[in-house]
Amino acid sequence: ILDAIRINFRSRKDNKRKLENNPNYRADSSKNSRKDTKLNNRLKALKHLNVDDETRSAISGILVRPLMSSDDEEIDGNKKTFIVRKPCWRTEGVTNCFHTLDEARQSNLSKHSLFRLMDRKDGPPSDREEPKWSEEMVKAIKFFD
């Protein structure tokens, strides 16, 4: 029991410290969690997608967090929507690939799961800087151009 109390106290103390260092800690954590979930869902959809090995390899090469869109919450009364902001430097081919993976996943969801999906609207492009890509990553991105 003492260990459980110690762990609980330490986690509360850690959360308080994180909030003091970054007032938007919870919002940032939520954004990161949504991105991780989206990435995992796309990886699962890729497993069920009927494509050749070269395409599958290229798709798995671009499934990284820096290429993904960011989203901002918008709460209007009781309704919550997400404003999706695609990186301005992401190519249309990569965006289309992501849409294909998302549609493949949604087509396999149950009616109840589809009902639980949050509304998303396209927003202005994100002004994030483009990361420095490895040669392998550049090759995977150019595959979709």
**Beta bridge pairs of residue 4:** none
Domain ranges of the chain: 1-67
Question: Could you report the per-residue pLDDT of 85-128, keeping only the tens digit for each?
Answer: 999 999 999 999 999 999 999 888 887 777 677 778 889 998 88
Integer angstrom CA distances of residue 135 from 18, 93, 139, 140, 141: 36, 18, 6, 9, 10
Predicted TM-score of the model (pTM): 0.78
Question: Could you report the per-residue pLDDT of 8-58, keeping only the tens digit for each?
Answer: 888 888 877 777 787 788 888 888 888 999 999 999 999 988 999 999 999
